[in-house]
Structure 1
Amino acid sequence: MITHRMYVDVLVLGSGLAGLSAAISAADEGLDVLVVSKESELKECNTFYAQGGIVFSGEGDSPDLLARDIEQAGAGVCFSDAVRLVAEEGPSLVKRYLIDDVGVEFDVSREGFDFTREGAHSIRRILHVHDETGRAIELSFLRRVTDHQRISLAAGYTAIDLITNSHNSSNPEELYRPTRVMGAYLLDSSGNVLIVFAAAVVLATGGVGNLFLNTSNPPGATGDGVAMAYRAGVPIINAHYIQFHPTVLFHRDLKRLLITEAFRGEGARLLNHSGEYFMERYSPDKKDLAPRDEVSRAIYAEMEAEGSDFVFLDARNLDVDIKDRFSNIYAKCLEVGLDITKDPIPVVPAAHYFCGGVKTDLSGATIIPGLYAVGECACNGVHGANRLASVSLLEALVFGIRAGKDIASRAKKPSKLLMSEIRDWIYPAKEEFFDPVLIESDLKYLRVLMWNYVGIVRTRKRLERAMSDIHYLKQRIEQFYKSAEVRKDIVELRNAVLVAEIITRTAYANPSSIGCHYIKTD
């Protein structure tokens, strides 16, 4: 095994909307950018699977109204400066980048854009492309960055860890100097490690959904950016706020299929096994359009009361053409014998969005010079304790653009001497035998543990049990990581158990129920 070295101005870890926005913004300012994805295809990210849409500006809308909706959904825990920034800058950036620049063809009606509405929004203001909005945005952005002369793309490279002068220099004096990020160790598909030096590293690695048994996220959502930032010394905040989407399809042959909240925006209603539309009992005013945490807990309570594994979403009498408006979901359900125009849809809540993350300022910068975080792995205060539907893509675009511009204005290239002092990757002298079954088993155990003890409804006893079990698992995994051949699945497992520990510890330290963090008295 060998270690290669290279330099770029900006290294972006992650190829979703947040990472690509940062890449375009920095490249437009004249910087050379490398965008890296650990997946074999760059499109494989949470953005690609986003269904509902992206917030724009509807009839009678205003920044004040949007900001109010975001802060109400966020349960009073939002950072008002960040919310105001997104509400004021967001729609114009959607127009400039998504509509005018990359040419996303959002659905239209005779009156103009076909706006939809989702839970906790005051009005219709969400742009969509049928029920595959994220797919359209991701593919359009990828075409744009592929054509950019200053942007290089690399799939199949796993970020093992960040490189800092404090942790990775062979010069002992660097330990006493201010910490700065200098790049990252990347693992290629052949097992070789590449050192990529950079003036700035952007973490755009997505969320933590795959830490839970039931999730809407793709398998790669293992909290990698959060774990790397934590090991580098960056604060992780609001980690206890895990948003569970109320409606993911419950079917043994079709996993992780999100049933977008836009169904309820168009009038679909939740139904229990007794045939009752039950949301009026839990939220008399907003009913099925209550914030996601309230709807998820209501479904959980119904399942618990009835002893069932799911409830139903009734979309049989909508005023829209389901086969057109929700064409992707309709087709996928039909493949497993479910006609959602005739039959209620079996649904269950699932881990969906991480409202916490790497602490950043309003330009995506962390406390460590050279390190930025954008998108779901970052926490800038927009989402507070509970994300408002379809704001995530807007926030990713706004902060990605801001991060790229901030990097261009102040990032500094590490000196040749400093780079020469960074150690090569150390391969174990005698590698421990690798058994993929053990890795898969440990991850599955962690996901079940997190679902049962750190899920929709938490108790002090459950969290105590989770902390004990995760601590033991983490020690064992860390020991194995140090002696085993470095591989993508081992890196992901190491990151996942660390982030699980952070989430659980933070949840235990916050005994009051707020937003999507719900503590039930033992």
Structure 2
Amino acid sequence: MPSFDFLIIGSGTAGLSTALGLSQFGRVAIVSKDRASDSASDWAQGGVAAVMDEDHDSIALHIEDTLGAGMGLCHPDAVRHIIGQGPAAARRLIDWGVPFDRRADGNWHLTREGGHRARRVLHCADTTGHAIESTLLQQVRAHPAIQIAEAHFASDLWLRGDRCAGAWVLAPEDDRPQLWTARAVILASGGAGQLYRHTSNPLVATGDGIALAYRAGAEIANLEFIQFHPTTLYQPGSAPFLLSEALRGEGALLRLPDGSAFLERYDPRAELAPRDIVARAIDAEMKRHRIEYVTLDISHQPGAQVQRHFPAIFAHCRAHGYDLTREPVPVVPAAHYTCGGVVVDVAGRSSIDGLYAAGEVSASGLHGANRLASNSLLECVVGAASIVADLGGRSRLPEKPLPPPAPTSTRSSNALSETAIRTLRQALQTTMWRAAGIIRNDADLRAASANWEEMATRIGDAVQGPRYYQELRNLRLCAALLTRSALLREESRGCHFNSDHPQRREDFAADSIHQRDRPDPFLRPIPGAI
């Protein structure tokens, strides 16, 4: 039975940053269900939002922009903590070797994205996430105190009494899990974009950490707030490719296929409005005109500048027959970011002793009802540092747990073929896109919610079984929690828009909370909410 000081589930920016920090205090294991580099972090294009130019920006302004995007559901203490730590987090990445772009005068090249009132996004051309992920992964692989277990899947957490002390882990080609124990367990497994038929997320984003935490009894908050990115390249039959919001920050314009503008009818900020507004505007125009896409046009900007700032996007578009520097390209919205997740405090502690969470899997209070662009990678690095400070600041780490003699789970699964499981997964994604997508309504949400209960009976709930089964198990649970939260929130706010309740209601200025031992989700007021 493997035993470590710290067990981290997930190998994106949050997991790798946490591992590097905790390695000074003991042995660290990272469980990665695929290759360690396969993460949403690696796919991130935009950058890291941090105040690096105090002549034209300030911590106070970044806080105001974050609170504005969050539509009254941000936790002010969390926002102040994470945004305040932004410059230090950026310097930490720089010290680790991340090669952020500089201007000709040697200062940082900062870009601006929707919802930001200043240029504050550090980036590495348009592949910032890959630059961060590859830099951190190189350091992690070389560290003697850190072990990465690729192609391993955590199917359930293990609690010793009321404390999380490990996880049941499936090795490659093995359907029966082995218990891995640790003094503390850190969830860094990313979001749940694969709930949807159209998503910018990698295949690994199946809500695993959220499901693990819920089954263990941790609180889950605000899953109804799924951010839909306004602009992915429209290419039927192919995986969506994200066209970074930084394109609009650098002057790209959204238009109907006939060239006419539409965004100013929805928000005076037009292309620089927050993502939820832009995505809903595109969705509404597509339905109104019965069109399959709108266009994004940056051809009026200098071609050399476009190629220099967005080399990966330019190359991908060229490979699919479009020249960013000469013509508009077709775009559609797609599920992009899970704003809710495992409830944590400013130290990264969940409601279960010994269980921490960082990054997209967490609900830190930073994002509220809608994430501000490029605050996500920032949250990963600051969240990791907070966990390291909490565990490292203790006078004594928790004792290593003594394991039970055998798995404690007696839950069963129904024998379904891999083909049947994949068919069910596709059906789930189609239903979620229709019922819990950009624009929702009560009838569709109720029908979907009933469907998830029926699916639970059909697939069972077992700690053992192959990865494709475990992923569907987790997706089904996340779908059920999300639709129930969406039904509870009888208003429209941020990423959540319900056509039966189109107005924002102040009596819903609260977190929606799920907890395993409570039959229904409930609303909880946010201390000091603005």
Looking at structure 2, the residues matched to 62 and 325 of structure 1 have their Cα atoms a distance apart, in angstroms, of 25
Looking at structure 2, the residues matched to 140 and 376 of structure 1 have their Cα atoms a distance apart, in angstroms, of 20
- Shift in alpha-carbon separation, 1:359–1:119, aligned structure 2, 3 A: same
Letter in 1 for 2:39: C
Quote the residue 1:306 is aligned against: 289
- Aligned pair 1:454/2:436, yes or no? yes
CA deviations 1:32-55 (Å, max 9, x no partner) are 11111001x111001000001111
Looking at structure 2, the residues matched to 462 and 93 of structure 1 have their Cα atoms a distance apart, in angstroms, of 42
Gapped regions of structure 2 (runs ≥ 5): 502-530
Looking at structure 2, the residues matched to 183 and 193 of structure 1 have their Cα atoms a distance apart, in angstroms, of 12
Quote the residue 1:84 is aligned against: 80
Alignment of 1:152-301 (within 5 A): 152-166=147-161, 179-191=162-174, 192-284=176-268, 286-301=269-284
CA deviations 1:80-108 (Å, max 9, x no partner) are 0110011211111211x2112x2111111
Quote the residue 1:56 is aligned against: 50
Looking at structure 1, the residues matched to 441 and 31 of structure 2 have their Cα atoms a distance apart, in angstroms, of 39
Letter in 1 for 2:11: S
CA deviations 1:444-473 (Å, max 9, x no partner) are 000000000000001111111111112111
Looking at structure 2, the residues matched to 492 and 407 of structure 1 have their Cα atoms a distance apart, in angstroms, of 30
SS of match in other structure, 1:23: helix
Quote the residue 1:472 is aligned against: 454
Gapped regions of structure 1 (runs ≥ 5): 167-178
- Aligned pair 1:15/2:11, yes or no? yes
Looking at structure 2, the residues matched to 519 and 420 of structure 1 have their Cα atoms a distance apart, in angstroms, of 47
Instruction: Compute the RMSD of aligned alpha carbons.
Output: 1.8
Looking at structure 1, the residues matched to 414 and 442 of structure 2 have their Cα atoms a distance apart, in angstroms, of 38
Letter in 1 for 2:59: P
Quote the residue 1:175 is aligned against: none
The alpha-carbon deviation at position 412 of structure 1 amounts to: 4.3
- Aligned pair 1:436/2:415, yes or no? no
Q: Pick from 347, 357, 372: which aligns with 1:388?
A: 372
The alpha-carbon deviation at position 425 of structure 1 amounts to: 7.2
Looking at structure 1, the residues matched to 494 and 27 of structure 2 have their Cα atoms a distance apart, in angstroms, of 41
Looking at structure 2, the residues matched to 237 and 457 of structure 1 have their Cα atoms a distance apart, in angstroms, of 20
Contact 2:414 2:460 in 1 (8 A): no
CA deviations 1:47-82 (Å, max 9, x no partner) are 000001111223421110110010001112100011
- Aligned pair 1:75/2:54, yes or no? no
The alpha-carbon deviation at position 130 of structure 1 amounts to: 0.9
Q: Pick from 365, 375, 384: which aligns with 1:400?
A: 384
Instruction: Report how many residues are paired.
Output: 495
Quote the residue 1:38 is aligned against: 33
Quote the residue 2:103 is aligned against: 109
- Aligned pair 1:518/2:493, yes or no? no
- Shift in alpha-carbon separation, 1:119–1:426, aligned structure 2, 3 A: closer
* Greater displacement, 400-409 / 356-365: 400-409
Quote the residue 2:508 is aligned against: none
* Greater displacement, 495-504 / 245-254: 245-254
Looking at structure 1, the residues matched to 482 and 388 of structure 2 have their Cα atoms a distance apart, in angstroms, of 29
SS of match in other structure, 1:35: strand
Contact 1:235 1:358 in 2 (8 A): yes
Contact 1:253 1:336 in 2 (8 A): no
TM-score, length of structure 1 as denominator length: 0.92
Looking at structure 2, the residues matched to 428 and 134 of structure 1 have their Cα atoms a distance apart, in angstroms, of 38
Looking at structure 1, the residues matched to 167 and 271 of structure 2 have their Cα atoms a distance apart, in angstroms, of 45
Looking at structure 1, the residues matched to 393 and 145 of structure 2 have their Cα atoms a distance apart, in angstroms, of 17
Contact 2:181 2:403 in 1 (8 A): no
Letter in 2 for 1:520: S
Letter in 2 for 1:148: H
Bigger proportion of residues as helix: 1
Quote the residue 1:322 is aligned against: 306
TM-score, length of structure 2 as denominator length: 0.90
Looking at structure 1, the residues matched to 363 and 132 of structure 2 have their Cα atoms a distance apart, in angstroms, of 22
The alpha-carbon deviation at position 378 of structure 1 amounts to: 0.3
Quote the residue 2:23 is aligned against: 27
The alpha-carbon deviation at position 123 of structure 1 amounts to: 0.7
Contact 2:416 2:459 in 1 (8 A): no
Looking at structure 2, the residues matched to 99 and 195 of structure 1 have their Cα atoms a distance apart, in angstroms, of 37
Letter in 2 for 1:90: G
**What is the identity percentage for the equivalent residue pairs of Structure 1 and Structure 2?**
40
Letter in 1 for 2:430: V
Contact 1:24 1:404 in 2 (8 A): no
Quote the residue 1:169 is aligned against: none
Looking at structure 2, the residues matched to 414 and 233 of structure 1 have their Cα atoms a distance apart, in angstroms, of 22
Contact 1:198 1:413 in 2 (8 A): no
Looking at structure 2, the residues matched to 146 and 468 of structure 1 have their Cα atoms a distance apart, in angstroms, of 45
